[in-house]
Amino acid sequence: MRSRELLITNAHIILPDKVIEGHVHIKDDKIAAILTGEVTRARLTSEVQVIDAKGLHLMPGIIETHSDAIEKEIQPRPNSIFPLEMAMYELEKKMAGVGITTLYHSISSSDGTSVRNDEVVANIIAYAARRRKEPSMLRHRVHLRYEITNIEGIPMVRNMLEQGQIDLLSLMDHTPGQGQYKTKESLRDYLMGTEHLSFEEAGATVDELIQYQEQVDWEEIRELIQLAHSKQVQLASHDDDTSEKVQFMRGLGILISEFPVSMEAAKAAKSSGMYVSVGAPNIVRGSSHNRNLRAMDAIEAGVVDILCSDYHPPSLLPAVSIIGNTDVGLAHAVRMVTLNPALALGIDQDYGSIEVGKVADLVLLEMKNGYPLARKTMIGGHFVYQSDYYFQGVEAR
């Protein structure tokens, strides 16, 4: 079979530690060379396709470790459930349009609502796991968020791990009084606003969580963690709020701390060798929606490794741009959504940076009046998204 070759020329190439002007040669599905200076046609084969990226930035495809987007695609409104296959295909288009090439679908087994009950969770994960092996606009991965108070769900999690359906497992505890929700009232209000539960329903759910939290068997959870390690599945904690909580989680063998709610916890996680992940919406909005740790403060303190989109994937590129305009710099900001997630998840040998020999998952960015727009998104050397039309301001007649 004849090799497929592509040359992206005159781009601002975002490498792990700097930005250079140059060209990237892609052969088949991998990066074959990174070139600087003038590249003449004499150096190329007659079959190579040349794309002039003058004025654009070239970055690795985004590796999104935590996105609830599939849940929102299935249920955009309360009591409005759409077919899973339709939701997944439509989500792929949206993710490619914001530069995401590897998506860890963050699927929550927690509160028994329309999407977050074990039966629906099992169906979503089984489908997403199958999509990993099919041609797609995304590299599909599965991030199961297991609520430790979902005691009846432990056999399901064990079965999914044994079947190789999970790529990342996080442990959550949304019991009020610790973590994200400091009071029963704050969790009750969240459930009323987000899940549209009545005052009585939300209150009963909170009381049930507290009751189940007292029944959590940490020996069973340790067994799950050991099984995950045996399957090379990485683990994350969620909403760590104290250094003591961080040390407990680290002692379990957990490597990623998602959304620490205090600076104390973020610093403790970083100093213990954990990867610290914060939400891009927090960066774009300038604060936490729950009045917890301000993500930019943690970045300025040097304790953040990973940015994820949480509930809003379009926030990733703007957040990278905001961070890139600080002393952190663009190359390091891009690492937070590319190489650092790849390192944390053990996929950095093939993904996460523009380096010779790595898979050509790439994004061409235009900075439109300082706002980052994905103009072309590539998976394995093939464009899955292209926006070649630029509005020229033609007057309507």
Q: Look at residue 393 and tell me whether its pLDDT is greater than 50.
A: no
Is 263 found in the same domain as 173? yes
Is 118 found in the same domain as 51? no
Q: ∠ CA(308), CA(311), CA(316), 5° rounding?
A: 40
Q: Look at residue 111 and tell me whether its pLDDT is greater than 70.
A: no
pLDDT of 21 reads 96
Mean pLDDT is highest, among 73-87, 123-137, 298-312, for 298-312
CA atoms within 13 A on the CB side of 363: 29
Domain membership flag for residue 376 = yes
Whether the Cβ atoms of residue 355 and residue 365 lie closer than 8 Å to each other: no
Is 214 found in the same domain as 242? yes
Domain count, the chain: 2
Domain membership flag for residue 180 = yes
Domain membership flag for residue 204 = yes
Is 66 found in the same domain as 49? no
Is 340 found in the same domain as 203? yes
Is 237 found in the same domain as 143? yes
Is 69 found in the same domain as 54? no
CATH number of the CATH domain containing 272: 3.20.20.140
pLDDT of 389 reads 60
Which has the higher per-residue pLDDT, 192 or 1? 192
Q: Look at residue 204 and tell me whether its pLDDT is greater than 80.
A: no
Is 227 found in the same domain as 369? no
| Percentage, residues of the chain above pLDDT 70 | 85
Is 271 found in the same domain as 290? yes
- The range of the structural domain enclosing residue 50 comes to 5-59+353-386
Is 35 found in the same domain as 87? no
Which has the higher per-residue pLDDT, 11 or 192? 11
Burial call 167-192: b when 16+ CB within 10 Å, e when fewer = bbbbbbbbbbebbbbbebeebbebbb
Q: Look at residue 201 and tell me whether its pLDDT is greater than 80.
A: no
Whether the Cβ atoms of residue 25 and residue 32 lie closer than 8 Å to each other: yes
Domain membership flag for residue 243 = yes
Q: Look at residue 122 and tell me whether its pLDDT is greater than 80.
A: yes
Helix pair 263-271, 243-251: axis angle to 10 deg: 30
pLDDT of 387 reads 87
Cα separation, 305 vs 328, whole angstroms: 12
Domain membership flag for residue 371 = yes
Domain membership flag for residue 33 = yes
Q: Which helix (H) or strand (E) holds 51?
A: strand 49-52
Is 339 found in the same domain as 219? yes
DSSP string, 128-156: HHHHTTS--SSEEEEEEEEETT-GGGHHH
pLDDT of 392 reads 45
Under the banding of pLDDT at 50, 70 and 90, the label for residue 39 is confident
Q: Render pLDDT for 325-365 as a digit per residue (tens, 0 to 9).
A: 999 999 999 999 999 999 999 999 999 999 999 999 999 99
Domain membership flag for residue 165 = yes
pLDDT of 2 reads 54
Under the banding of pLDDT at 50, 70 and 90, the label for residue 394 is very low
Is 42 found in the same domain as 146? no
pLDDT of 213 reads 65
CATH number of the CATH domain containing 365: 2.30.40.10
Q: Look at residue 288 and tell me whether its pLDDT is greater than 90.
A: no
The whole model's pTM is what? Answer: 0.89
Domain membership flag for residue 225 = yes
